[in-house]
């Protein structure tokens, strides 16, 4: 019997190797060696044996691509190295300026030729895939560059992603980065199928790839023809690279598709030749491209060049010229944002521009309308700025008939009817109770990056304002369960859940609170700088204009916005109302000096009853802790919920500190 099992095990292993090889030939090299029928026979035999002998089933088996059970939500993965966005260059001059800047930083003469690696910039969804000892363990989206969504089960369904690296000597850790894509032909077929079913179609291949990868049910992802093209690496252990070109060569040897056509360019003029060549070829490529990527090839120079807070200095995206089309400007309507700015929006005769049907385009402000010289009824040229945002380039004056009408700025707010005021180039509604402003402010306040009130999205924000339940931001902290039960879609459980989410939001880090309350000119980064500099909300509220102006990077406009915000009587009234309801931002000094879990590492396994995994993670990170996805000896606490997985067994084997949900809440100071 033992011999028979050994024989079965050997057959399974041989089948896996054959299937991996033929997957690689078909999905990566596009050069199959056997027929579909022969491949199907191999696969069926492997499935049959694994079902009969489950003790031989492994997570890297080709059969695991068929999709795991549906998930309730995506977890989060913190990138060990940030996944930066790229600075854009939109023409030859800006690419030459990048080259000159690289030389200035490195102290090289102007006529020195830098060796660059140039490759296509694929228009997809960035993803990082981690392999431990050659086995795929985690895959995550780029997210905000620091934290992405856990899409491991879905990525495993992508046939061009190896579940095991193609090497007999895998590195201990290998993080490959690349783009999840959908070929143009597969995008067309998918939309035809969705249309036939009466389902919503996708606007372009990038949206199709993103929507397919982020399905909660991996079986749906498995049905979509997604692809993965690698362009770099994250953390790599056990291999030393000297050049970016070596990285991509190695990635291909490990079984991936890597960016092609790529080349090494000797100096900026060869970069420009490649730039123009790829722009000419973009329509013939099987994937959508929106430009090229230019990288300094020598990795030693990367260390010297470094990064800004948002982008690396050793690479840049050379964006292609936007795609254009001609259509009719049918009308102009006016939208009101959360700050009260009235934005004119062009209503267009639907037109296909760069793979997307465009029906609306922002006109920014009335100075822009004057500059463009457009009228209602004009034939206009439309382009997608950066191939993303539709915008009007200008009118086709020679096609005017005389029936065109001037675009007249409104005198009153299109939502609340209040008189508009001119502020720089904008028209603005200054009515604090304007429903349009409040709806936008409420959505902004509740979003994950701000106060993270789960369940308070656009639909509910609009409903709360329309029904008069929320007349200012502070009112959400006075909502009662009975109020919510009167709204459509709410039952006892969902109402309780939202009230609990609102209650939890009362304690958020100071930086997130500052971002949430909508101070003009204060985004996430500025809010973090403010919190770090002044430590407490009280200090910020007392700060003088001169104090604010002294902060590095703060100009007069930003300093004035913050100063005036905290001297506006209505703003102070709303803030005071929040404080009375128990809102108390976590101050910087509290995180630094008082948190009992600062720098402690947590791992979660199983389902928590009082919150989602994402909310638990946020609570840990707000208090200076760290959340990891995998169990190791470096973990301080393993939090166990209902139906824990293999992490629980591994934690026990390693003798780690294991706590239940109640102990976790006590540790965080949430429960007595």
Side-by-side strand order, sheet with 115-122: 88-89, 315-319, 289-296, 115-122, 263-266
Q: 639 pairs with which residues across the strands?
A: 604, 659
3-state secondary structure string across 518-548: CCCCCCHHHHHHHHHHHCCHHHHHHCCHHHH
Closest CA to 254 of 65, 12, 83, 20: 20
> Residue 314: helix, strand or coil by DSSP?
coil
Cβ pair 460, 488 in contact under 8 A: no
Q: What Cα–Cα distance (Å) separates residue 440 from each residue in 420, 457, 464, 495? A: 18, 10, 12, 22
- How many angstroms separate the Cα of 113 from the Cα of each of 18, 108, 482, 632? 46, 9, 71, 46
Which of 162, 154, 156 minimizes the C-alpha distance to 134? Answer: 162
SS3 112: coil
Query: Is 439 part of the annotated catalytic residue set?
Result: no
Residues 563, 569, 574: CA angle, nearest 5 degrees: 100
In the set 2, 9, 57, 121, the catalytic residue is 121
**C-alpha–C-alpha distance, residues 153 and 218, integer Å:** 6
Distance from the first to the final alpha carbon of the chain: 58
Collect all residues with Cβ–Cβ distance below 8 Å to 286 and sequence separation of at least 6.
Answer: 183, 184, 185
Beta strand pairing call for 421-423 and 426-428? antiparallel
Sheet holding 257-258, edge to edge: 135-141, 125-132, 173-181, 227-237, 257-258
What are the structure tokens assigned to 543, written together? Answer: 């700060």
Sign of CA dihedral 216, 220, 160, 282: negative
| Element holding 103 (H helix, E strand) | helix 92-106
Q: Is 235 left (phi over 0), alpha (psi -120 to 50) or beta?
A: beta
Furthest CA-CA distance within the chain: 92
Residues 6+ apart with CB under 8 A from 417: none
Q: What is the spatial distance between Cα 249 and Cα 263, in angstroms, rounded to a whole number?
A: 12
177: β partners? 128, 232
Structure token pair of residue 287 = 């994937």
- Cβ neighbours of residue 476 under 8 Å, at least 6 residues apart? 442, 445, 446, 453, 456, 464, 470, 502
Residue with tokens 């996430």, as numbered in its chain = 524
Could you tell me if 172 and 238 are in contact, meaning their C-beta atoms sit under 8 angstroms apart? yes
Q: Annotated catalytic sites, by residue?
A: 121
């Amino acid at each position: 019997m033992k011999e028979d099992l050994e024989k079965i095990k050997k057959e399974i292993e041989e089948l896996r190797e054959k299937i991996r090889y033929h997957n690689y030939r078909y999905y990566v090299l596009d050069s199959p060696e056997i027929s579909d029928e022969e491949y199907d026979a191999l696969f069926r035999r492997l499935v049959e044996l694994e079902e009969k002998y489950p003790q031989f089933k492994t997570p890297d088996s080709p059969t695991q691509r068929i999709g795991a059970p549906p998930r309730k939500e995506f977890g989060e993965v913190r990138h060990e190295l940030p996944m930066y966005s790229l600075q854009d260059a939109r023409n030859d001059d800006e690419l030459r300026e990048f080259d000159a800047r690289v030389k200035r930083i490195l102290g090289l003469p102007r006529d020195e030729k830098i060796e660059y690696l140039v490759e296509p910039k694929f228009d997809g969804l960035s993803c990082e895939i981690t392999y431990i000892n050659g086995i795929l363990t985690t895959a995550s989206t780029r997210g905000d560059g620091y934290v992405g969504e856990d899409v491991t089960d879905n990525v495993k369904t992508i046939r061009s992603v190896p579940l095991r690296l193609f090497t007999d000597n895998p590195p201990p850790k290998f993080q490959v980065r690349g783009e999840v894509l959908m070929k143009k032909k597969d995008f067309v077929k998918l939309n035809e199928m969705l249309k036939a079913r009466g389902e919503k179609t996708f606007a372009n291949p990038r949206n199709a790839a993103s929507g397919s990868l982020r399905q909660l049910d991996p079986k749906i992802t498995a049905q979509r023809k997604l692809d993965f093209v690698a362009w770099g690496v994250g953390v790599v252990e056990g291999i030393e690279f000297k050049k970016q070109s070596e990285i991509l060569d190695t990635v291909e040897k490990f079984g991936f598709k890597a960016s092609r056509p790529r080349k090494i360019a000797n100096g900026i003029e060869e970069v420009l030749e490649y730039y123009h060549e790829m722009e000419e070829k973009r329509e013939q490529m099987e994937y959508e491209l929106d430009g090229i990527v230019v990288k300094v090839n020598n990795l030693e120079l990367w260390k010297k060049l470094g990064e800004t807070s948002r982008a690396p200095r050793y690479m840049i995206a050379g964006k292609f010229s936007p795609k254009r089309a001609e259509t009719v400007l049918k009308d102009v309507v006016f939208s009101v944002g959360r700050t009260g700015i009235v934005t004119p929006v062009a209503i267009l005769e639907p037109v296909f521009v760069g793979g997307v049907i465009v029906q609306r385009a922002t006109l920014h402000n009335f100075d822009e309308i004057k500059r463009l010289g457009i009228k209602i009824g004009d034939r206009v040229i439309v382009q997608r700025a950066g191939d993303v945002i539709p915008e009007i380039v200008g009118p086709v004056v020679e096609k005017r008939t005389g029936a065109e009408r001037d675009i007249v700025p409104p005198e009153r707010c299109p939502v609340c009817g209040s008189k508009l005021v001119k502020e720089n180039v904008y028209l603005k509604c200054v009515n604090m109770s304007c429903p349009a402003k409040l709806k936008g402010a409420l959505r902004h306040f509740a979003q994950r990056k701000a106060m993270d009130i789960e369940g308070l999205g656009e639909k509910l924000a609009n409903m709360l304002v329309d029904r008069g339940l929320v007349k200012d931001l502070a009112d959400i902290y006075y909502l009662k369960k009975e109020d919510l039960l009167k709204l459509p879609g709410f039952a006892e459980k969902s109402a309780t859940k939202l009230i609990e989410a609102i209650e939890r939001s009362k304690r958020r880090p100071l930086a997130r609170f500052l971002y949430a309350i909508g101070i003009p000119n204060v985004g996430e980064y500025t809010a973090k700088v403010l919190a770090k500099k002044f430590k407490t909300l009280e200090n910020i509220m007392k700060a003088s204009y001169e104090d604010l102006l002294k902060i590095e990077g703060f100009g007069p406009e930003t300093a004035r916005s913050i100063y005036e915000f905290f001297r506006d009587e209505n703003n102070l009234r709303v803030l005071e109302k929040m404080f009375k309801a128990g809102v108390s931002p976590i101050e910087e000094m509290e995180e630094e000096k008082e948190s009992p879990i600062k720098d402690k590492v947590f791992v979660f396994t199983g389902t928590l009853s009082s919150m989602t995994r994402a909310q638990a993670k946020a609570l840990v990170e707000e208090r200076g802790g760290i959340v990891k996805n995998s169990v190791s000896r470096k973990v301080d606490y393993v939090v166990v919920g209902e139906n824990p997985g293999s992490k629980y067994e591994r934690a026990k084997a390693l003798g780690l500190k294991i706590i239940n949900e109640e102990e976790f809440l006590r540790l965080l100071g949430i429960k007595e």
